[in-house]
Amino acid sequence: MTKTNLPTSTVTDSTASTKEFFNSYYNEGIALSATDVDNAVGFFESKGFDVTAANSIAATLLSQSKIENVNVFQIIDTLKGLNDLQLSRVVSEILNYNRLNISTLGYKIDTTADNQFEIRNVLA
């Protein structure tokens, strides 16, 4: 089964359960505790993220923490020290690392305020 950024479609024929079984035969499930999920989702909701966005970010963060065997509360404690702009940048980086390379999420950086010496005009 190929990965895609498109929404999943539901199969409505009589072989749907068989197809689902064999498409996920070699994929291992990840068991997460309800406390970890609730705390991760609650953290992102408290920072002003929409419910859907908080669920998506929390799921990505939880699955990666489970793969790397890191406690999710340590990650959340680290994220608590960031302001809103820094948190948005970190979240976009987390989501980009877990997406296909055909599309990325980004943010605009104002280059006029950073350093005027780095901005040059090249004349041909």
Question: pLDDT of 92-107, one tens digit each?
Answer: 888 888 777 777 777 6
> What domain count does the chain have?
1
In a domain, 83, yes or no: yes
CA atoms 49, 41, 80, 30: torsion sign = negative
Residue 119 located in a structural domain: no
- Residue 18: inside a domain, yes or no? no
Q: 60 in a domain, yes or no? A: yes
Domain of residue 66 covers: 30-97
Does a structural domain hold residue 44? yes
Q: How confident is the model at residue 110 (pLDDT cuts 50, 70, 90)?
A: low
Q: What is the largest CA-CA distance in the chain?
A: 65
Does the residue 109 lie in any domain? no
pLDDT in tens, 16-71: 788 878 877 777 777 888 999 999 999 999 999 999 989 989 998 998 888 888 99
Residue 21 within a domain: no
